[in-house]
Structure 1
Amino acid sequence: MSKPVTLIVAACLLLLTTQAHSNTNAAEAAAMAWLEAIDSGQYEQAWESSSSLLKRPLSPDMLKRTIGAARRDLGAVQSRRRVGVIRDTSMPGAPSGDYMVFTFQTQFENKPRGVETITPHLEGDAWKVSGYYIQ
């Protein structure tokens, strides 16, 4: 491969890598803001910033009851550390699109080794949470 072609290919790969990193940062920022709202009991704020995929089946009150029940016995969050991220274009039962699946090792007051999975979905030009699971 000639040197100019190699440089063009390298530049394209660098741009793609930079774009992927930027998407991961934006998706993680949306996920963390959503989690912080949940952690502080601001369920209405979390619902407002959620994806339509989450809002459609859940009212703000249903979100509060569902997550409140799931986290009630766990206690307050002591620490949270990202342990994985996967980008995908489909999720079970959801339309095709851009998704990021973040996995966090979370230490709760009453459960030292919890695992949270949160899935932001790209809606228009903004990442919004479309799913949350806790183990």
Structure 2
Amino acid sequence: MSKTVTFIIATVLLVLTTNAYSHTDAAEAAALAWLEAIDSGEYEQAWEASSTLLQVPLSSNMLARTINAARRDFGAVESRRRIRVIRETSMPGAPVGDYAVFTFQTRFENKPQITETITPHLEGGDWKVSGYYVN
């Protein structure tokens, strides 16, 4: 294989890898900003930053009630650490698209080890949260 062909292949692979990482970074930034809004009780802000997949079935008040019920006894967030990210092109009950599923190990004031799963997806060129679960 010629040096030119090898260089072109290496360049393409580097660009594709860099693009995948930048998408993951942007998706994680959107997820963390959404979580920060939820952590600080800014549910309207979180709802506005949410995907239509989350906004259509839930009003901002319903989102607040749902999050408060799920995290009722947890207390304040003390730390959050990403433990996994998986890229998907489809999710159950959702349209085909670009999704990132982030799993965080989170320490709350009253719950030392909670797993949070948050799913942003690319909507209109922006990453927006479409799902959130706590275990």
In the superposition, the TM-score normalised over structure 1's length comes to 0.99
Which structure 2 residues correspond to residues 52-63 of structure 1 after superposition, within 5 A?
Answer: 52-63=52-63
**How many angstroms does 1:3 deviate by?**
1.3
Which structure 2 residues correspond to residues 17-32 of structure 1 after superposition, within 5 A?
Answer: 17-32=17-32
Distance in 2 between residues matched to 1:111 and 1:18, nearest whole Å: 37
SS at the partner of 1:97? coil
Which structure 2 residues correspond to residues 1-135 of structure 1 after superposition, within 5 A?
Answer: 1-135=1-135
Distance in 2 between residues matched to 1:40 and 1:124, nearest whole Å: 27
Structure 1 gap segments, 5+ residues each = none
**How many angstroms does 1:98 deviate by?**
0.2
In the superposition, the TM-score normalised over structure 2's length comes to 0.99
Distance in 1 between residues matched to 2:124 and 2:56, nearest whole Å: 17
Percent sequence identity over matched residues? 74
**How many angstroms does 1:95 deviate by?**
0.4
Distance in 1 between residues matched to 2:92 and 2:125, nearest whole Å: 22
> Over residues 28-81 of structure 1, what are the superposed CA-to-partner deviations in whole Å (9 max), with x where a residue is unaligned?
000000000000000000000000000010000100000111001111111000
Distance in 2 between residues matched to 1:56 and 1:124, nearest whole Å: 16
SS at the partner of 1:73? coil
Distance in 2 between residues matched to 1:13 and 1:88, nearest whole Å: 20
SS at the partner of 2:58? coil
The alignment covers a number of residue pairs equal to 135
Structure 2 gap segments, 5+ residues each = none
